[in-house]
Amino acid sequence: MNIMFHRLYCSSGNTLEVEEYVCYSELDDDGYWMRYVEITADGKALRYSREHLADSHGVLPEGTWDDQETAAREYGTMTPITDRLFEAVWAATRCVNDVQPFAPAGGFAVR
């Protein structure tokens, strides 16, 4: 069983002129993205996973998470979050790229 790590990233305050957004990431023990929710400043939310890698809106981040790089203040802020918070965001967020009613681990459909 892989150990999962969860991170919250916020681009607010970055010095690279990246538009504001937050993302919730689930990473495996090797640092690869497994699931990802991004919410932009205009409220648009996107969801990606190993089952839904990409669409016309975006893509599941590629490569591995780099704690040292993402800790650089020029990119914004990053913090570890609990499994519980990530799962709550994953289950409750309505995303523009959800292709069908999403059924979280608990088995009920979120619309």
Provide the pLDDT for residue 36.
Answer: 96
Provide the pLDDT for residue 27.
Answer: 94
Provide the pLDDT for residue 105.
Answer: 53
Q: Is residue 11 part of a domain?
A: yes
Q: Is residue 109 part of a domain?
A: no
- Distance of alpha carbon 86 from alpha carbon 30, whole angstroms: 18
Provide the pLDDT for residue 28.
Answer: 94
State the residue range of the domain holding 21: 5-92
Provide the pLDDT for residue 110.
Answer: 44
- pLDDT in 10s for each residue of the chain, 111 residues: 578 999 999 988 888 888 899 999 999 999 899 999 999 999 999 999 999 999 999 999 998 887 777 667 787 888 999 999 999 999 999 999 987 655 555 444 444
Please give the tally of structural domains in the chain. Answer: 1
Tell me if 10 sits within 8 A of 38, measured CB to CB: no
Provide the pLDDT for residue 109.
Answer: 43
Q: Is residue 12 part of a domain?
A: yes
The H or E element that residue 89 is part of is: helix 83-92
Provide the pLDDT for residue 101.
Answer: 54
